[in-house]
Amino acid sequence: MKRIAILVCGKAVGNACTGSSCMKAMNCRKGTFARYESEEIELQAFFQCSGCGDDLEHNSGLQEKVERILKIDPDSVHVGVCTIEKDTKKRCAVIGKMLKIFKEHGIEVLNGTHDSELLQEVIE
C-alpha cells in the first residue's frame, strides 16, 4: 500500500476549488495516480500553503505543516497544477521550497494530480 499526500494552492482552495478533481483522479487512478492502478493507496493528508505573502522562512504555521508531513512520512506528495503560475509556467516559489524539503527527506514529489496541459509546460 502506498501512503500519499496531496498539496494544493491555498488561493485556489480559498476560491472555487473543492478538491473534487484531485479526489476523482485519485479514486479512478487517473492522472498521476495511474501508477497505483493495481495498488491500494491511503490518502494521509490534503494540505495547502498558508496563502500568498506567507513564506516558509517567516511563517510558523507553514513550517509546522511541513514538519507534520515529514512526521507522517508519506511515500509520495502529489502537487496540484494550481501551484503552477499560469503566466510564467513556473511553480510557485513557496511551494517549491516545501517540495525541496520533502525531496531532501526522501519523499517522492509528483507533478500534478489530475491531468492538465499545463503540467507538460511547467518550468521547475
SS3 content of the chain, % helix, strand, coil (to 5): 45, 20, 35
DSSP 8-state assignment for residue 75: S
Q: CB–CB of 113/34 below 8 Å?
A: no
- Kindly state whether residue 113 participates in binding ligand SF4, applying the rule CB under 6 A: no
- Kindly state whether residue 49 participates in binding ligand SF4, applying the rule CB under 6 A: yes
**Between residues 27 and 88, which has the closer beta carbon with respect to ligand SF4?**
88
Q: How far is the CB of 38 from ligand SF4 (least distance, A)?
A: 32
Give the interface segment with ligand SF4, choosing from 4-12, 22-30, 97-105, 109-117 (CB under 6 A). 4-12
Question: Which helix H or strand E contains 93, and what residues bound it?
Answer: helix 93-104
Contact pick of 24, 46, 47, 51 for ligand SF4 (by CB under 6 A): 51
- Kindly state whether residue 62 participates in binding ligand SF4, applying the rule CB under 6 A: no
Tell me the backbone φ, ψ of residue 76, rounded to 5 degrees: -145, 150
Contact pick of 5, 6, 9, 69 for ligand SF4 (by CB under 6 A): 9
Give the interface segment with ligand SF4, choosing from 6-14, 61-69, 101-109, 112-120 (CB under 6 A). 6-14
Buried/exposed code over 91-116 (b: 16+ C-beta within 10 A; e: otherwise): bbebbeebbeebeeeebeeebbbbeb
